[in-house]
Chain A
Amino acid sequence: MNHLLSLILFTPLVGAAVLMFVNKRSENAIRWIANLFAMAGFLVSLPLWFYYDDRNPSWQFVERAAWIPSIGADYHLGVDGFAVLLLLLTTMMGAIAILSSWTAIKERVKEYYIFLLILQTGMIGAFVSLDFLLFFLFWEVMLVPMYFLIGIWGSDRRLYSAIKFFLYTLAGSVVMLLGILALYFNYTDPQTGLHTFDIAQFQQHGFDTSLQWWVFLAFFLGFAIKVPMFPFHTWLPDAHTDAPTAGSVILAAVLLKMGTYGFIRFSLPMLPDATRAFVPMIATLSIIGIVYGALVAMAQRDWKRLVAYSSVSHMALVMLGMFALNPVGIKGSIIQQINHGISTGALFLLVGVVYERRHTREISEYGGLSKVMPVYAAIFCVMMLSSIGLPALNGFIGEFLILQGIFTVSKIWAAFAATGIVLGAAYMLWLYQRTMFGKIENPKNENLPDLNFREVMTFVPLIILAVWIGIYPTPFLNRLNTSVDRVIARVSPQYLQQNASGTPADCGQKPAASKWQVAPCGPGQAASPATAPAGTVPADQPKKVERKAIPAGGTAPSHEPGKAKPPTTAAAAPAKPVGGR
């Protein structure tokens, strides 16, 4: 078990290496090998689901070895619940993407699969790195295969899109690197007295507020481009539209999560003061993104571009939930990242299916497909509903948590953000009507074959997950407890104050607890926050939060619309830099 993460990390790379020695003419052998390695990559990552301990607040499956000792960079891997979920999403979507390419790719098959597998390693590496330099290495490694995937196997304006994707993200990551170096030079490991790239240590260090601001902005540029947030989003529709299906799937399901992962993993816990200060800016950009993405999606005539813009809208919602800076919002944000991977990934796969048959993405070329492709129409329907957040499917879980989380911060923001659910339904249903309903008017669509077995298999796991998360999200949400607590301890410590002092707030204060409250308010619930990163929360912090009994006679809890509670800013200040600079 000790090297599980390395095993997961390098399985795809080994696959790529093996493929190099296969004759490029034997295309089917190449396909089999790639699929086997991708499937193996998924299987070896499965133990993470079972052996990850959601009560243990420390990093798990840790591996550490010296990498570049002279600058304090280590080969340091480890995961928490958040990383586990994204990692499993990556390995699963990677396997699905590779399976979906079987007949779609007919040229340069060998190179294609090699790039996909290298990409896989890059993404996994970014999620498991606990060393900032290592993270940055993997972050950059991802760009190259994606660039070639779009540039070689893409469509129409593939070169333009590939270069745009590459340069745009590269520009962001260069600035991000400056931020990383700024942190690096402003912190020394108290034990060794040397500079370090250790993420875990950065997360517990209170950096100088003005430094936090600059570094936050630097990180923001890097991550916001990747997410992508509103004004930085235009590379995405181009990249998605011109990428091959598997590329779009990976891009939507995993690559975009790099940005949000970066925010939650780095910006929030390392720069809590700046994070709190930038909440209004990010919330504004996110709300614009939600509405703007949805409206622009409505205007699209290109099927894939429509899904790409819906992605902009959904990722803006993810950002909004994250910057609610409360456990509900952040959990919703993370679970919505998974959901977005599932539903948008599936939507791109679906476009890919008909693109492979008809070689066009124009919506007007289609219509009435339910008649000839009923299975396809049914799967599309489920995934559309997941995407527009129908309750009892996965999308709703994230949407609800995010909106409830942000509602606590500002009712106005929540009201605007919730318009996304109306607009989302509008553009998706309209798309569905234009493609699936009506009579078949284009003779080219009359004999389209329905999904074959392999294609159905690419969707089955996604549908199962969509229903599972929609009905019983507890296993997913519980795995996030410690990760979220780690972030909350930094950005909104008042929550842990409450929990650390005993039981969740409503225990024992509701006079008539109803019968269904079987889940005890026992110590099990509060176990993780109590043992959360010790020393990060100053014990003497004033308790800002008072408890009141809910039905307190005649005094209603005062209703103050629009008055958001700014989180206390006392969190990071007391822990002064130990090593000095």
Chain B
Amino acid sequence: MDLIWLIPLLPGLGAAVNGIFGIRYFSKRTAGVLACTTMAIALGVSLTAFVQLLGLSPEARVHDVVLFDWFPRTALEMAGGRIGSLHIPWAFRLDPLSSMMILIVTGIGFLIHVYSIGYMHDEPRGGVARYFAYLNLFCFFMLTLVLGANYLVMFVGWEGVGLCSYLLIGYWYEKKSAADAGKKAFIANRVGDWGFLLGVFLIYFTFGSFDFREVANAAATLPVETAQFGTLSLITLLLFVGATGKSAQIPLYVWLPDAMEGPTPVSALIHAATMVTAGVYMVGRNAVLFTHAPMTMEIVAIVGVLTAVMAASIGLVQTDIKRVLAYSTVSQLGYMFVAMGVGAFAAGAFHLMTHAFFKALLFLCSGAVIHGMAGEQNILKMGGLKKYMPVTYATMMIGTLAIAGIPPFSGFFSKDEILLQAFLKNKFVYGMAAFAALMTAFYMFRLMSLTFFGSYRGAAWETAGHHGADAGHGGHGAWHGPHEAPKSMMFALVVLAVGAVLAGLVGIPTAIGGGNAIEHFLAPSFEASHSAITAGGTGYAGTEAGATTHPGAATHAEPATAPVAAASVPAEGGAEISKAFELGLMAFSVLIGIIGIAVAYRFYVRRPEIAARLEQRLAGPHRVLTNKYYVDELYDATVIKGTMASANGLWAFDRRVVDGAVNGSGWMTIFSSWFSGIMDKYVVDGLVNLVGSVLQESSFVFRRLQTGLIQNYALLMLFGVFAFVSIYLLVVRSL
């Protein structure tokens, strides 16, 4: 366990080697094998660490590894004038939640690396190395994100996965739509990061620490903010803003569907299985804070369920195979936030895990279909592929049944747990979530029907040269019709399909005789540590306003505030719910799934004309859905146009007014110097010249006296002498 820092570092090294040397020197095979090897070793280390962790007693399942200081200690004032010390080490922490996450990331990551070798086979050599460098770098950051022991190390991963997402979405950078989508993803994430960072600042300001456990322990001693929207509510709301960016929730979800511009394995790994769940993980990581902020919890649940319904409804009418899955991802992420919002953190994390399996599987299957169809992504141009790609069909069917919540596939267990918890907390949320589940079953089976059932509607393969955007074709010249993918891709499909079937078994609810092992395993991660909770915790239950917002009062296996000791108490100890009722709910949700499937089967396989007729009858709503509620257009018209307009306006202001003032004073100076010049020339110099000219003029008068004639001078002299003698006689003598 002391080597957990190796887990992120290995793919990091792979990325560095592939990025610096691989692009120039490695063959496609070398680059791919190198990347897969790093992931395989990381998976091995993760498994070892996981087994070691399991060997510890449940309370002791925390292991920290500190590498070195990142931000050395610096004094900084906190709330109330205390002076704390800002200090952030490079610290990694293995606990139940992070151990589950590293297994998901390294496990599914490894499979997708293997799949990519086949999928990216037709790319140019340097491109493949670049692709694997990015993919490895992504795993590096994702593992840093989940292993980080404090907010800042997590933020490194948080921003880093955003960067890799940007790079991978824009992998085909020559395509404008791909470059645009990458940029959109990054900026939408940055808007979320704005909230996340402010939340982190407020956490330091309030608690004086960035360490998850220290913050959770300190928060556990604070009262639950039921009545007023206090500091904890603000912190959690800001953190949730970050989560809406990363996990594609309303209002920042718009980037995820566009992110499908990237290669399909990328969509599977980043935009389905791992990165987009980071927001859910982060909320789970801060479970203690969230349980102390019921108002934020309510916001989380409602945003989650609205996102789930909205995305599912858009998914009903999409025709691009990957976009259907993208909206499905948004919708499922909404589910996870519902779980978080109703305080069922373990259920949310459980759904995160099962979703990682079945959604990665679905994306990889869609990749196999796109590959087999030589780049075609429109499901209306497919059909009847069952007979050409039986393995893909079978595995994708498993994924579909899992996401539709049909037992015994994994999705059933996790989704059912969320629905149950939602039912207990908030009937409105439950109703919406059940509705979304209905739509999920429907659109997924619509996708299956249009792709694999019916008759083939695509291009004929003698003439087909349609190499679309996501062209991953098996490298044997002209297209010979739909066919199965190469072995490396099949391998990943089969393994993931097994996972999609079995992953639910770790969380079989107690109502049907399971142990719900995963909730018990994860529970310690969602609580303050044992020593701290004795001080606070349930002591504040008396101030609760109502059971709907109080986490822990009305649940049967509520992990959020239940002390560690309570985890051993039989989980069906909740007061309000009987086993039979739980089974009834379960049956209802299965029924919903079956209805959705049956309707889709009827519309798209048995009687396709019904779908066409409905589409005509409901042309208005259909158009709104096809255009995704015009949200992109709305954002474009307001936020983007607004920003650009203010940018251009300020630029004009800068030139005309601010710089205008500078130039104006410059011109004033020049003018005044010109004026001074004029003054100088005509007034000052004029005066000087005036004196001169006066002298000159006067001298002209006097010059006339200077005639040069001796007689005149003698005469003047005579007058002079005469004058002086007269004055002397008249004036001086008289005194």
Given A298-B643, A548-B82, are A499 and B75 also a contact pair (CB < 8 Å)?
Answer: yes
In the complex, are the beta carbons of A548 and B80 less than 8 A apart? Answer: yes
| Chain A residue contacts of B174, Cβ below 8 A | 368, 371, 437-439
Minimum CB distance partner of B155 in chain A: A391
In the complex, are the beta carbons of A430 and B647 less than 8 A apart? Answer: no
In the complex, are the beta carbons of A422 and B187 less than 8 A apart? Answer: yes
A233 to B659 alpha-carbon distance, docked (Å)? 8
| Chain A residue contacts of B651, Cβ below 8 A | 295-296, 299-300
In the complex, are the beta carbons of A327 and B76 less than 8 A apart? Answer: yes
Given A299-B651, A328-B86, A516-B66, are A557 and B73 also a contact pair (CB < 8 Å)?
Answer: no
**Interface size counted on chain B using CB atoms at 8 A:** 89
| Chain B residue contacts of A477, Cβ below 8 A | 71-72, 74
Instruction: Write the B146-157 contact mask toward A (1 if CB under 8 angstroms, else 0).
Output: 000100100110
Q: Does A550 contact B (CB under 8 A)?
A: yes
Cβ-neighbour of A438 out of B66, B173, B231, B234 (below 8 A): B173
In the complex, are the beta carbons of A422 and B190 less than 8 A apart? Answer: yes
Measured between C-beta atoms, what is the minimum distance from A404 to chain B in Å?
5
16 contacts between A and B (CB under 8 A): A296-B650, A299-B644, A408-B78, A419-B194, A421-B194, A422-B194, A423-B643, A437-B173, A438-B179, A474-B69, A477-B72, A512-B532, A516-B66, A544-B81, A551-B532, A559-B206
Which chain B residues numbered 508 to 542 have a C-beta less than 8 Å away from chain A? 529, 531-532, 535-536
Measured between C-beta atoms, what is the minimum distance from A480 to chain B in Å?
9
Q: Does A426 contact B (CB under 8 A)?
A: yes
Measured between C-beta atoms, what is the minimum distance from A398 to chain B in Å?
11
Which chain A residues numbered 495 to 543 have a C-beta less than 8 Å away from chain B? 495, 498-499, 504-507, 510-512, 514-516, 518-519, 521, 525
| Chain B residue contacts of A72, Cβ below 8 A | none
Most buried by A among B82, B217, B659: B82
| Chain A residue contacts of B459, Cβ below 8 A | none
| Chain B residue contacts of A515, Cβ below 8 A | 64, 66
A544 to B77 alpha-carbon distance, docked (Å)? 12
Sorted from nearest, which 5 A-B pairs have the closest CB atoms?
A: A299-B651, A559-B231, A516-B66, A234-B659, A407-B201
Q: Does A361 contact B (CB under 8 A)?
A: no
Which chain A residues numbered 230 to 272 have a C-beta less than 8 Å away from chain B? 231, 233-235
A355 to B152 alpha-carbon distance, docked (Å)? 38
Measured between C-beta atoms, what is the minimum distance from B165 to chain A in Å?
13
Q: Does A429 contact B (CB under 8 A)?
A: yes
In the complex, are the beta carbons of B173 and A436 less than 8 A apart? Answer: yes
Cβ-neighbour of B201 out of A414, A436, A471, A544 (below 8 A): A414
Minimum CB distance partner of A312 in chain B: B654
Cβ-neighbour of A404 out of B204, B223, B231, B643 (below 8 A): B204
| Chain A residue contacts of B87, Cβ below 8 A | 519
In the complex, are the beta carbons of B662 and A168 less than 8 A apart? Answer: yes
A51 to B342 alpha-carbon distance, docked (Å)? 58
Cβ-neighbour of B74 out of A327, A430, A565 (below 8 A): A327
| Chain A residue contacts of B208, Cβ below 8 A | 506, 550
A233 to B535 alpha-carbon distance, docked (Å)? 55
Instruction: List residues of chain A with CB under 8 Å of any chain B CB.
Output: 164, 167-168, 231, 233-235, 292, 295-296, 298-300, 326-328, 331, 368, 370-371, 374, 378, 385, 390-392, 396-397, 400-401, 403-405, 407-408, 411, 414-415, 418-419, 421-423, 425-426, 429-430, 433, 436-439, 471-474, 477-478, 494-495, 498-499, 504-507, 510-512, 514-516, 518-519, 521, 525, 544-548, 550-554, 556-561, 565
A55 to B220 alpha-carbon distance, docked (Å)? 39
In the complex, are the beta carbons of B80 and A404 less than 8 A apart? Answer: no
Q: Does B483 contact A (CB under 8 A)?
A: no
Measured between C-beta atoms, what is the minimum distance from A506 to chain B in Å?
5
Q: Does B214 contact A (CB under 8 A)?
A: yes
Minimum CB distance partner of A432 in chain B: B183
Cβ-neighbour of A422 out of B166, B191, B214, B646 (below 8 A): B191
| Chain B residue contacts of A495, Cβ below 8 A | 75, 77, 83
In the complex, are the beta carbons of A498 and B83 less than 8 A apart? Answer: yes
Q: Beyond the given A298-B647, A474-B72, please list 7 additional residue pairs across the A-B interface where CB-CB is below 8 A.
A: A167-B666, A401-B74, A408-B205, A411-B202, A422-B193, A429-B186, A519-B73
In the complex, are the beta carbons of A234 and B658 less than 8 A apart? Answer: yes
Measured between C-beta atoms, what is the minimum distance from A544 to chain B in Å?
7
Measured between C-beta atoms, what is the minimum distance from B286 to chain A in Å?
17
Given A551-B535, A554-B536, are A415 and B72 also a contact pair (CB < 8 Å)?
Answer: no
In the complex, are the beta carbons of B217 and A557 less than 8 A apart? Answer: no
A558 to B191 alpha-carbon distance, docked (Å)? 28
Q: Does B704 contact A (CB under 8 A)?
A: no
Most buried by B among A328, A473, A558, A565: A328
Cβ-neighbour of A418 out of B79, B198, B222 (below 8 A): B198
In the complex, are the beta carbons of B84 and A505 less than 8 A apart? Answer: yes
| Chain A residue contacts of B156, Cβ below 8 A | 391-392
Given A504-B75, A519-B73, are A433 and B536 also a contact pair (CB < 8 Å)?
Answer: no
Q: Does B109 contact A (CB under 8 A)?
A: no
Q: Does B85 contact A (CB under 8 A)?
A: yes
A403 to B198 alpha-carbon distance, docked (Å)? 9
Given A296-B651, A425-B190, are A545 and B82 also a contact pair (CB < 8 Å)?
Answer: yes
A430 to B646 alpha-carbon distance, docked (Å)? 16
Cβ-neighbour of B654 out of A234, A235, A547 (below 8 A): A234
Minimum CB distance partner of B92 in chain A: A516
Measured between C-beta atoms, what is the minimum distance from B493 to chain A in Å?
32
| Chain A residue contacts of B159, Cβ below 8 A | 390-391, 396
In the complex, are the beta carbons of A565 and B75 less than 8 A apart? Answer: no
In the complex, are the beta carbons of B218 and A295 less than 8 A apart? Answer: no
| Chain A residue contacts of B170, Cβ below 8 A | 437
Measured between C-beta atoms, what is the minimum distance from A467 to chain B in Å?
11
Measured between C-beta atoms, what is the minimum distance from B579 to chain A in Å?
38
Which chain B residues numbered 525 to 580 have a C-beta less than 8 Å away from chain A? 529, 531-532, 535-536
| Chain A residue contacts of B643, Cβ below 8 A | 295, 298, 423, 426
Most buried by B among A401, A553, A557, A561: A557
A499 to B159 alpha-carbon distance, docked (Å)? 35
| Chain B residue contacts of A421, Cβ below 8 A | 190, 193-194, 197
